[in-house]
Amino acid sequence: MTGRTAVVTGGASGIGGAISRRLANDGDLVAIFDINGAAAESAAAEITQDGGKATGLAVDVTDRTAIAAALDEVRAVLGRPAILVNSAGATLASPFLDITRDSWQAALAVNLTSTFDCCQLVLPDMIDEGWGRIVNISSSSVHSGSPGLGAYVTSKSGVVGLTKVLALEFGRHGITVNSIPPGFIDTPMLRKTVDSGMVDVDAQIGKTPVGRIGRPEDVAATTAFLVSDEAGYITGQLIGVNGGRNT
Ligand SMILES: NC(=O)c1ccc[n+]([C@@H]2O[C@H](COP(=O)([O-])OP(=O)(O)OC[C@H]3O[C@@H](n4cnc5c(N)ncnc54)[C@H](O)[C@@H]3O)[C@@H](O)[C@H]2O)c1
Q: Which domains does the chain have, with CATH numbers?
A: 5-231 (3.40.50.720)
Can you tell me the distance from the alpha carbon of 152 to that of 92, in angstroms, rounded to the nearest whole number?
7
At 27 the pLDDT is: 98
**Does ligand 1 lie within 6 Å of residue 176's CB atom?**
no
- Cα 154 to ligand 1 centre (Å): 16
Q: Which residues are catalytic?
A: 152
Q: Whose CA is nearest to atom 8 of ligand 1?
A: 139
pLDDT, one tens digit per residue, over 122-148 is 999 999 999 999 999 999 999 999 999
Can you tell me the distance from the alpha carbon of 216 to that of 222, in angstroms, rounded to the nearest whole number?
10
Can you tell me the distance from the alpha carbon of 149 to that of 141, in angstroms, rounded to the nearest whole number?
9
For residue 41, pLDDT beyond 60: yes
User: Which whole number is the average pLDDT over 210-225?
Assistant: 98
**Does ligand 1 lie within 6 Å of residue 10's CB atom?**
yes
At 245 the pLDDT is: 95
Can you tell me the distance from the alpha carbon of 78 to that of 201, in angstroms, rounded to the nearest whole number?
40
Per the rule left: phi > 0, alpha: psi between -120 and 50, beta: everything else, 146 is beta
For residue 2, pLDDT beyond 90: no
pLDDT, one tens digit per residue, over 42-62 is 999 999 999 999 999 999 999
Can you tell me the distance from the alpha carbon of 193 to that of 202, in angstroms, rounded to the nearest whole number?
13
Can you tell me which atom of ligand 1 is nearest the CA of 156?
Answer: 43
> Max CA-CA distance within the chain?
50
